[in-house]
Amino acid sequence: MTPNSPGPDRELPPAGLPAVLAVDVGNSKTDLALVTAEGRVLGVVRGPTTSHQQVGLTEAMARFATLAEGAAGQAGRRPGVRPLARIVAYAAAGADLPSDVRLLRRAIREAGLGAEELVVNDCHAGLRAGTSRTWGVCVITGSGMNCLGVAPDGREARFDALGDVSGDWGGGGAIGLAGLAAAVRAEDGRGPSTILERTIPDYFGVARPRSLSVAMYREKIPYRRHLEISPLVFAAACQGDGVARSIVDRLADEVVAWAGAAIRRLHMQRLDPHVVLAGGVFKADDPLFYGRIRTGIEAVASAAVVRRLDSPPVVGSALIGLDRLAGEAAPPQVERRLRAELTEERLAGG
């Protein structure tokens, strides 16, 4: 029995329950959907983060319960009646270590929102949302980076993804800091000229890069806003700025390093793995960036198919739950219906 499989002491779920309460937990928001076994979407909610790392476990579970009741209300269920679904499929940024998974699974079980609970890292949701297969590779590049590889036989390649202490570089945070550093170094003469010296301080309404650095150091401008710099770096790279392009190239090479490591560890070099690129950074429209990633990954697995995620990750959470209940990949007609109904537009309106 796997850590996320139902225990022998669990009661059978009541008849008539929706199949899946699908959850995607990011560092800034949470998406939920209540889904039937046929792929119908009964209710959707988008709310604040329920990450236990961001707000603490108690607050995270309180927020989660509130959002889940909101989705259940859309489905016409009476408030406070639990469980809400046969399975809670909970994909979370920060569910990186087995101890994280155990902690979250126990808390979700105690909340009683599902007859069964399945907790996975958000890479699982990104992968399943990005391909109709149940195997492949997902690289998430949001504020930071993470990667998951799943072989056709179910073996997994995982990474700790704990930041600097686990050898990580990349994501919107790293790009933002590298861009600001390049702007400051251009201003004081330590580095080459770059249009970032102008565009970054302009964005924040300050006179020059050093002014921005000092404002962040003194917390007059929140340090976390360095995440907002990443699009400026991509824009400069697309305008032909060599300094910005070197930063973007480094990120592309990191994506290749993560995906390539997963492919090699699972011995998939001769297969045709789908490599899903998920996360906010991949909203950038930069053909050179994606071309460099594609070339690098194809050097590892020539038949690999690189694709940017174009579905909300919570679609992957829902499919993971439906796969678990079916004991195999959800039927194609169920997947098609789910994808048609669980859209970004519906989540944004929910």
- The tens digit of pLDDT for each residue in 182-220 reads 999 999 999 999 999 999 999 999 999 999 999 999 999
Residue-wise pLDDT for 80-105, tens only, equals 888 999 999 999 988 888 999 999 99
- The CA distance from 179 to 176, in Å, is 5
Residue-wise pLDDT for 225-247, tens only, equals 999 999 999 999 999 999 999 99
7 has pLDDT over 90: no
Mean pLDDT, residues 162-174 taken together: 92
Pairing of the two strands 117-121 and 29-35: unpaired
- The CA distance from 144 to 279, in Å, is 9
**Phi, psi values for residue 23, rounded to 5°:** -135, 135
Decide if 184 contacts 210 (C-beta within 8 A): yes
Mean pLDDT, residues 264-272 taken together: 98
Q: 20-130+311-349 maps to which CATH number?
A: 3.30.420.40
Residue ranges covered by each domain of the chain:
20-130+311-349
Does residue 98 have a cis bond before it (omega within 30 degrees)?
Answer: no
Neighbouring-strand partners of residue 43: 34
Encoded tokens for 287:
């053909």
Query: pTM for the whole thing?
Result: 0.89
Write down the pLDDT at residue 350.
58
Q: Which residues contact 25 (CB under 8 A, 6 or more apart)?
A: 49, 50, 51, 90, 91, 92, 93, 94, 122
Q: Cite the beta strand spans of 253-323 per DSSP E.
A: 274-278, 305-308
- The CA distance from 184 to 193, in Å, is 10
Mean pLDDT, residues 100-116 taken together: 94
CA 297 to chain centre: 20
Residue-wise pLDDT for 127-146, tens only, equals 999 999 999 999 999 989 99
Decide if 35 contacts 20 (C-beta within 8 A): yes
Query: Taking all residues of the chain, what is their mean pLDDT, rounded to a whole number?
Result: 93
Decide if 241 contacts 157 (C-beta within 8 A): no
Residue-wise pLDDT for 50-62, tens only, equals 999 999 999 999 9
- Assign 13 a pLDDT band (cuts: 50, 70, 90): low
